[in-house]
């Protein structure tokens, strides 16, 4: 097995993004005076869900891509999936704060989650094909 250096690099970038999202939630909590829950603040709820969505999808995405890279998948495939994942996770919070039904909401939030799910699907299929 090859050490997944490319995935490790992107995992570090995504970890910094996660730290940033965490700080964004903390700032929202301070602003809303909500130490627990969302304090019925819609902006804070969006921050919390952006952070939670990241925590729900990124670990599996990274695991699948790391397995691909460790198994010898092409650098182009691995890097492509990781770039898409990083861009998707940057876009998603911008879409969460966009006005409802706006082009920015659809492009950033919708595009971000679709791209993330696409990374998971492509990586999963690629792993199944490699194992066949």
Query: Mind listing the pLDDT tens digit for each residue in 9-54?
Result: 999 999 999 999 999 999 999 999 998 999 999 999 999 999 999 9
Q: What CA–CA distance (Å, rounded) separates 41 from 44?
A: 5
pLDDT in the model for residue 25: 97
- 1 has a pLDDT exceeding 90: no
Q: What CA–CA distance (Å, rounded) separates 87 from 91?
A: 6
Query: Span 5-131: which CATH code?
Result: 1.20.120.550
Do residues 117 and 123 touch, judged by C-beta distance below 8 A?
no
Q: Which two tokens stand for residue 73?
A: 């998948």
Task: Compute the mean pLDDT over every residue in the chain, rounded to the nearest whole number.
Answer: 95
What mean pLDDT is predicted for residues 95-111?
A: 92
Determine how many CB atoms are found less than 10 A away from the CB of residue 125. 11
Percent of the chain with pLDDT over 90: 90
Percent of the chain with pLDDT over 70: 99
- For the chain, the domains span 5-131
pLDDT in the model for residue 131: 77
- 84 has a pLDDT exceeding 60: yes
Alpha helices (H) in the chain, listed in sequence order: 5-32, 42-70, 75-96, 103-104, 111-131
Do residues 65 and 78 touch, judged by C-beta distance below 8 A?
yes
């Amino acid at each position: 097995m090859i050490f997944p250096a490319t995935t490790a690099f992107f995992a570090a970038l995504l970890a910094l993004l996660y730290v940033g999202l965490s700080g964004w939630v903390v700032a929202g909590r301070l602003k809303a005076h909500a130490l627990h829950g969302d304090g019925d603040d819609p902006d804070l709820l969006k921050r919390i869900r952006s952070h939670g969505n990241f925590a729900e999808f990124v670990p599996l995405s990274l695991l699948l891509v790391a397995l691909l890279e460790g198994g010898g998948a092409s650098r182009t495939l691995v890097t492509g999936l990781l770039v898409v994942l990083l861009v998707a996770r940057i876009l998603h919070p911008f879409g969460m704060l966009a006005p409802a039904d706006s082009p920015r909401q659809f492009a950033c939030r919708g595009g971000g989650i679709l791209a993330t799910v696409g990374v998971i699907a492509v990586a999963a299929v690629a792993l199944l094909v490699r194992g066949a």
